């Protein structure tokens, strides 16, 4: 965590202003929106007019990554480490809220890590393929600009950071969990880069998306644990429209 001292308090206020915190939920804790099969359009704006951007926005996520409009290596550096976080668990949600002091620098902007959450299967696709699990590391700059680093996992060797989260899940919402985020992020930070949105309502745009080219591994048991906790949690692929999508050079 080499730039720890440079990181101001993460802007949770900005995050909630962007609508990322909870989404709307009824009193019984049920969401007022639902996933489809991951391919059929969800039409979330029909459920709640606050979600208009989900269907009317032209910069939505996730997308198919194998349609790059440019090749280039994004200047990205990251400083993640071992830190004590809190579980946030709910319907379709397994998340770890992280303490300040970690993050990434993308394009000379410092993005403070706020939380990591998961989807099964992955939301972004590569040549039509979705991986069984993805982590979304959600960050914000001090002015509230959101930036996400997406990491995909395929079946293979167990990941120690994921294991810490799996082991902590029974503690439930608010439970303590210590995770070394550096174990979840590939050493090679070649990324696909584009401007997109939150992938859940209210689908707010102007999110700086980075999806790592390197796919990490998780054990079949770890993948099964996340699938069991999350269920189907991948939004349908959204049109690229006229956005710039930069793919890494290798
Ligand atoms: Zn996500």
**Mean of the pLDDT values across residues 107-131?**
97
- 134 CA to centre of ligand 1 in angstroms: 8
- 118 CA to centre of ligand 1 in angstroms: 6
Q: What is the pLDDT at residue 151?
A: 98
Residues of the domain holding 167: 4-247
- 148 CA to centre of ligand 1 in angstroms: 8
* 29-43: pLDDT as tens digits: 689 999 999 999 999
- 198 CA to centre of ligand 1 in angstroms: 7
In the chain, % of residues over pLDDT 70:
88
- 31 CA to centre of ligand 1 in angstroms: 15
Contacts of 184 (CB under 8 A, 6+ apart): 80, 116, 135, 137, 151, 159, 161, 162, 216
Residue-averaged pLDDT of the chain: 91
* 14-23: pLDDT as tens digits: 454 444 544 4
- 43 CA to centre of ligand 1 in angstroms: 18
**Mean of the pLDDT values across residues 124-130?**
97
* 179-206: pLDDT as tens digits: 999 999 999 999 999 999 999 999 999 9
Contacts of 58 (CB under 8 A, 6+ apart): 239, 241
- 130 CA to centre of ligand 1 in angstroms: 14
Q: Number of structural domains, the chain?
A: 1
CATH number of the domain encompassing residue 112:
3.10.200.10
Nearest to 117 by CA among 146, 95, 86, 90: 95
- 176 CA to centre of ligand 1 in angstroms: 21
146-155/216-218 β-pairing: parallel
- 42 CA to centre of ligand 1 in angstroms: 16
* 90-106: pLDDT as tens digits: 999 999 999 999 999 99
- 200 CA to centre of ligand 1 in angstroms: 7
- 7 CA to centre of ligand 1 in angstroms: 23
On the question of pLDDT at 176 being above 70, the answer is yes
**Mean of the pLDDT values across residues 203-221?**
98
On the question of pLDDT at 87 being above 90, the answer is yes
Q: What is the pLDDT at residue 30?
A: 84
CB 135 within 8 A of CB 50: no
Confidence of residue 147 (pLDDT cuts 50, 70, 90): very high
- 137 CA to centre of ligand 1 in angstroms: 8
Confidence of residue 250 (pLDDT cuts 50, 70, 90): confident
- 28 CA to centre of ligand 1 in angstroms: 23
């Amino acid at each position: 965590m080499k730039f720890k001292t440079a990181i101001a308090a993460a802007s949770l206020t900005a995050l909630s202003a962007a609508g990322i915190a909870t989404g709307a939920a009824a009193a019984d804790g049920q969401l007022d929106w639902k996933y489809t099969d991951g391919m059929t359009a969800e039409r979330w704006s029909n459920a709640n007019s606050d979600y208009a951007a989900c269907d009317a926005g032209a910069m939505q996520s996730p997308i198919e990554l194998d349609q790059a409009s440019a090749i280039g290596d994004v200047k990205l550096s990251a400083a993640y480490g071992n830190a004590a976080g809190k579980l946030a668990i709910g319907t379709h949600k397994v998340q770890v809220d992280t303490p300040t002091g970690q993050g990434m620098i993308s394009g000379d902007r410092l993005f403070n890590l706020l939380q990591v959450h998961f989807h099964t299967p992955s939301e972004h696709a590569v040549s039509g393929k979705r991986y069984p699990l993805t982590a979304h590391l959600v960050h914000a700059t001090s002015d509230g600009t959101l930036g996400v680093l997406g990491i995909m996992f395929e079946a293979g060797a167990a990941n120690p950071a994921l294991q810490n989260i799996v082991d902590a899940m029974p503690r439930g919402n608010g439970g303590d969990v210590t995770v070394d985020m550096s174990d979840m992020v590939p050493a090679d930070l070649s990324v696909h880069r584009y401007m997109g949105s939150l992938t859940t309502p209210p689908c707010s745009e102007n999110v700086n998306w980075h999806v790592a080219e390197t796919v990490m591994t998780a054990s079949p048991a770890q993948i099964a644990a996340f699938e069991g906790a999350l269920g189907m949690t991948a939004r349908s692929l959204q049109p690229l429209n006229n956005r710039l999508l930069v793919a890494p050079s290798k």
